Amino acid sequence: MYLKTSPLLFLAPMEGLGAIEFRKMLALIGGFDECCTEFIRIPSHPHIPSLVNKYDPKATWPIPQAAQLMGVNAKDLAEAAYQLGLKGAPRVELNCGCPSNTVTGKGAGSSLLDTPDTLFEILTQMCQKCPVPVTAKIRIGVNDDLNFQKNIRLVEEAGCQMLTLHARTKSDGYLHPARWEYIQEAKKQLRIPVCGNGDITTEDKALEMLEKTGCDHLMIGRRAASDPFIFRKIRCKLEKRDFVEDTLLLFKALDLFFTEIFQRTSPIGSIKQLGSFLLSSRVEIRQDFLTKPYNSSHDAKQHLIECLEKLFSLQHI
């Protein structure tokens, strides 16, 4: 699958923002080839079957949903990857990029980039045991690029079938401009496909990354929250077709999001988080939505719909 010549488009596994309700909403809009769960944390002494049981490969149908693991114990991660593969995961990915201090403080996420031997052992065991493709999502490094060359090579040597590179260091967070030259370097060094991630904000930027870095595939995270049509726009650009915005489809997808999110005990935070992204192109509308007091989650839902209708009407003036 990942050796496909035309670029595949991936929705990034974003902790918090990329919850299942959000993935289902974007899957209805479509345009991308695969999404991925938020990381499934494999703690010390895990009961792996209960952790794997929460995963549903068909939850975002018709878009396939891969599974992402996070942890430091190679044996446990390999067993989890094995069980996820048996459950129907199209691929299993190791998280080597999360910059959260609660994750890196335990040696997981992007901290693995400072311990290449541990990273290699984890990926090797996962690749040997998992019945489906294993991939790795990494950053350039933690604070620098000293281990970059070694890390990208060991991902391939361990048996991974794709490398996704978020072209920032851990210390860069999300605000520093992505350093696409590292994606280009990874593509030069590796035989396995390289998926580029970072600062793909428009369809033109997507094509620019493909041209400048030579990467095989593209992954987009936060931009998909502020522009749910970004994948469809890129697909149209790649196929030299005109993009036509379908606001009715967006509202249909939002209905699905609300149906799902209202099954939570307190959904208002997730509604405001999504609204913050969807309304980001108009500061005054976004501010109105975020600062208005709400008596209930249903009030927040209704006001978000009204704000979006106002946003679309202004865009077409």
Q: Which two tokens stand for residue 125?
A: 């065991």
Task: Give the residues across from 68 on adjacent strands.
Answer: 39, 93
**CA–CA separation, 300 and 261 (whole Å):** 12
Residue 35 falls in the annotated catalytic set: no
Catalytic residue chosen out of the listed positions 35, 98, 127, 130:
98
- Strand stretches in 153-234, DSSP E: 162-166, 194-197, 217-220
Q: How far, in Å, CA of 18 to CA of 130, rounded?
A: 25
Query: What CA–CA distances, in Å, run from 230 to 39, 83, 137, 295?
Result: 23, 33, 21, 33
Indicate the SS3 state at residue 44: coil
β partners of residue 139: 166
- H or E element at residue 102: helix 101-104
Residues designated catalytic: 98
